[in-house]
Structure 1
Amino acid sequence: MLAHRAPPFTQAPSSSHIGNIYAPWLDSIPDQESGSVEVRLHNEIMAYVDYMAPTPEEEMVVKLVESHVRAVLQRPFKHCRVHVFGSTATGLRLPGSDVDLVIETTDRFDPKAMLFRLSGIVRSNAWCQGSVQVNHRARVPIITFATTPQFGSLKFDVGVNNMSGLETGAFVAECLKTMPALRPLILVIKKALSIHGLNDASKGGISSFAVICMCIFFLQLNPYGLSEEYLTDPIATRSSGFILFDFLAYYSKGLPYKNTYISVSEGRLMPKDRAHWIADDCVGLVIQCPCDPGRNITRALTPMNFEKIRRLFAQAHEVIGDATAMQRGILGALVLVNAKFIEHREHIRRLIPPGDFGGNHFTLATDQRGGGPSAHHTGLLGSSLSVKPPIPGGIYGIPWPPVSMLGATPQAPSDSQQDCLSISQSSR
C-alpha cells in the first residue's frame, strides 16, 4: 500500500493534530480504474498541475502587490527599471513561492549600502511583514521580505543589477516551448523538494534553476529509452507517469554523478576531470550552467542534502512501483499540501471580490508610516480563517504519515514549519 511506504518525518512536529495533510486534486479524478499504475499516476499529475495553477485571484493579487512594490523599490534611483524573473515570469511559480525582482540601473552606488537603504525603505511601509533580511554576502546579493496578510502574504527576493536571472529565464521559457513534458515534471519535483526543505540553495539545498536543469537534461537524455511520442505528446499518450517514474529511478540510482557532470548545453554527461571549473575533490552532483558554462549551479548543495534528495526519489520510486491501478493518492509519495497551504489559497481568493479581476475594489491608500499603502476592499478577511478540510484524516482517510514508518505517533507540521516536512536523516 502506498500509505505505508511514505517518506517519513525527521522528527515529530510540535502540533498535537494529525490528518492535516491532503491531496485535494484527487477529487477531480473520476473514481474508476485507470488501466495501469502509470496512467493512474499520469491522471494524478495532470490533476495536481491543474490544482497548482494560479487562480485569477492569485494572479491579480500578485500583479497588484508586485506593482506597488516596484514603485517603492524605484525611489532611491534616478534611472531604473524593475524586472520580474524566475518562476513568476516563466509560469512555474507554485502558490506561496517567492516573487523574484531585479532592479536594473545605470546609477552609481555602493552595492552593500544600497541593499541596506532599500531594506529601510521597504520596512517603513505598513504592508511589510516583520523584518527585511539583507543577504549582501551571497553570490547574488539580495534583500528578502514578505507582505502582510492583507497584501497576500507574498514573499519577495530583490537584487540590484543581477541580470543573470533574466537570461536563465529566457532559456527556461524556450525549453518549455519545445518540451511539452517539461512543465508537469518540474512542478512535481519542485514541490516535492520544497516539502522536504531541500529547495533553498542558501541553506545547502538545490536551487529552482538547478531542478529545472535536472528535468531538462533527463528529457534530453531519455536514459531508459521511453518512446519519443511519450516525450513529445504526453497528454495524448498519458505518459507523465512513465516520465516521472523513470526520472526518480535515474536521479536516485542511475546517474553516475561521482565522476561525471550534467551538461544541458551538450545534452549529455561529461567527465569531471576535464572541467577546470570543477574542484578536483568534488564527488557530488554537478550541473553546468547552460548560460554561464564556467559555473556549477549546484555548488551550494551539500553532500548531506544531495543524499536526502536521492533517498527521497528512491523511496518515491519504490512506492510507485508497489502501487496498483485502483489505488488513489499514488502521487502522495512525493507531493501533498497541508491545511495552512489550503487556508492561504482561500485567503487570497477572498482578497479579490468575486469577478473583480480588474482589481476595482482592491485599492491602495496611504498608511500612517510615511507613504506606504494599506488595503481597503470588500473581500478582505478581517479575522482568522477556518477552512473545512477537503479530505478527512489525510489521504482519503489514511493517516499520514503512518505510525509504522516512524516508530512513534506522528504529528502535523507546526505553523513555523508550514508545509515543510523533513525526510529522515537516517539511512534507509
Structure 2
Amino acid sequence: MVPDFYAYMSPRPEEEKMRREVVERIERVIKDLWPTADVQVFGSFSTGLYLPTSDIDLVVFVKFREGDTLPLWRLEEALRKHKVVEENSVKVLDKATVPIIKLTDSLTEVKVDISFNMKNAVKAAALIKDYKKKYPVLPYLVLVLKQFLLQRDMNEVFTGGISSYCLFLVAVSFLQLHSRENACSPNANTGVLLIEFFELYGRHFNYLKTGIRIKDGGCYLSKDEVQKGMLDGYRPSLLYIEDPVQPGNDVGRSSYGAMQVKQVFEYAFMVLSHAVSPIAKYHLNNHGESILGRIIRVTQEVAEYRDWITMKWAALSLNSLTLKGNVTLLVELQEMDECINNLSEEGAESPSSSSPPPSSSFSSPHSSSASSSDAVSAL
C-alpha cells in the first residue's frame, strides 16, 4: 500500500520542470536587485521529498553591511513589480524566528518561502540526502506522513504543527532505534513500519520527559538533563529534537500543537491496526477502499492540478523539441546551400571538368520555389 502511494505521489518530470521555472523567475528578480547574490534551493524540493502542493524553499546569500536589516520588504516590492506573485498572496514575516517572505507564484500557484543567509538550511538538505541513502525506506515513510499531516493542517510550524524537517528527524530516530535489525533494509515492509511509527509516537513516546537526538547513531535524551545545559531559564519544548546541524537549536520549539499531532498519530494507529487485524478479513472494505485510504485522501482538486501540470509542461517540452528540430533543419539546409554554392563556384573555375555541376543533383529541393526558409515555415 505504501509503495503504491509513493509511486503515485512522487514528483513527475513535468512537475520538476515547472518548479525549476518558478525558481528561475524568482532568481531573475533577486539577481536584478543583487547581481552577486547566490540563490539556493533547500527543503523538500531539494531532497525530492515533496508533495504536488508542497512549498519551494529558497535561501538568498548576499552580503550586507553589519547592522543592516534584512531587505525583505525590498524584495517583496520587486516581486510585485515584476508580477511574479499573486497580488494578495505575498506576506513578509519579519518577526518570525526565521524571517521569510511567503508567496504564491502567479503562473503556477506554487507556494514559495524565501529566507536570507541561512547556511544551516543548506546543511540540513545535505543531511537529509545522506539519510535517504542510509535508510532506503525513509522516503516512503516521509511522503505518506507528510500527506497525512497536510490533510489535517498540521504540517506548518506557524500553525503549531511540525515542519518537514522536524518530521524527517522524527522518522530517522524511529528507524535508528528500531528493535528489529532488518527494519531499515530496502526490503522492509513499509506498511508495517508505518503502523509501528504511529504506535510509537501516538501511544508510547513520552513527550513530557523525553527528547530526541539523531547524531552519533541516535538516542533518547532526558529533558531534565537537557535543561541543565540551557541558559536563561529556557526549557526543552514539548517535542524536543536536537538539531544535528545547529548545536543548541531545538527543532520542535515552535510546534506548540505537538499533542494534537500525537492524537492524530494514535488515531491512525488504531485505524490501521484494526484494518489489518484477522477479524477485519471477514469484513468487506467500504466501496473497495484500500487500507491506506482509510487515513489518507488525495483530493480531486490535487489530481486535476497534477494533470494540468503534466499536460502544459509536456506540451511546452514538445514545442521546445519541435523548435529545436526546426532550427537544426534550417542550419543543415543553410550549410547544404553553402556547400552547393562552393561546389558550383569550383565547377565554374574548372570548365574542362567532364562532370556536371554538383548542384544539379540537388536542384529539386533547392529550387527557387522551395528555398530553405520556405521548408522551415512549412513545418
TM class by shorter chain equals 0.7 to 0.9
Letter in 1 for 2:294: A
Matching of residue 351 in structure 1 with residue 312 in structure 2: yes
Distance 1:280 1:64, change over 3 A: closer
C-alpha distance in structure 2 between counterparts of 1:271 and 1:330, whole Å: 36
| Deviation string, structure 1 residues 8-39 (Cα, Å, up to 9, x no partner) | xxxxxxxxxxxxxxxxxxxxxxxxxxxxxxxx
| Deviation string, structure 1 residues 160-191 (Cα, Å, up to 9, x no partner) | 11121101111111000110111101111111
SS of alignment partner, residue 213 of structure 1 = helix
Instruction: Tell me, yes or no, if the aligned pair for 2:141 and 2:194 is still in contact at 8 Å.
Output: yes
C-alpha distance in structure 2 between counterparts of 1:52 and 1:164, whole Å: 28
Taking CA–CA contacts closer than 8 Å with sequence separation of 6 or more, which of the two structures ends up with the larger relative contact order? Answer: 1
**2:238 matched to which residue of 1?**
284
Instruction: Tell me, yes or no, if the aligned pair for 2:11 and 2:48 is still in contact at 8 Å.
Output: no
Structure 1 position 332, deviation (Å)? 2.2
SS of alignment partner, residue 269 of structure 1 = strand
Matching of residue 231 in structure 1 with residue 187 in structure 2: no
Distance 1:281 1:296, change over 3 A: closer
Instruction: Tell me, yes or no, if the aligned pair for 2:123 and 2:245 is still in contact at 8 Å.
Output: yes
Greater fraction of residues in helix: 2
- Relative to the length of structure 2, the TM-score reads 0.76
Structure 1 position 192, deviation (Å)? 0.8
Matching of residue 244 in structure 1 with residue 194 in structure 2: yes
**2:129 matched to which residue of 1?**
173
| Bigger radius of gyration | 2
Structure 1 position 310, deviation (Å)? 1.3
Count of residue pairs the alignment pairs up: 309
Q: How does 1:106-255 map to 2 (within 5 A)?
A: 106-108=63-65, 112=69, 114-131=71-88, 132-148=90-106, 151-222=107-178, 225-226=179-180, 228-234=181-187, 237=188, 239-255=189-205
Structure 1 position 113, deviation (Å)? 5.5
- 4+ residue runs over 2 A deviation: 106-113, 276-283, 324-328, 357-362
Instruction: Tell me, yes or no, if the aligned pair for 2:237 and 2:252 is still in contact at 8 Å.
Output: no
Q: How does 1:25-36 map to 2 (within 5 A)?
A: none
**1:298 matched to which residue of 2?**
252
SS of alignment partner, residue 74 of structure 1 = helix
- Relative to the length of structure 1, the TM-score reads 0.68
Structure 1 position 106, deviation (Å)? 2.4
Greater fraction of residues in strand: 1
SS of alignment partner, residue 134 of structure 1 = strand
Instruction: Tell me, yes or no, if the aligned pair for 2:136 and 2:186 is still in contact at 8 Å.
Output: yes
Please give the root-mean-square deviation of Cα atoms over the aligned residues, in Å: 2.2
| Deviation string, structure 1 residues 225-255 (Cα, Å, up to 9, x no partner) | 23x2332123xx4x00111111000001111
Distance 1:107 1:306, change over 3 A: closer
Structure 1 position 122, deviation (Å)? 0.3
| Deviation string, structure 1 residues 100-122 (Cα, Å, up to 9, x no partner) | 11111224376645110000000
SS of alignment partner, residue 86 of structure 2 = strand
Distance 1:360 1:138, change over 3 A: farther
Instruction: Tell me, yes or no, if the aligned pair for 1:259 and 1:283 is still in contact at 8 Å.
Output: no
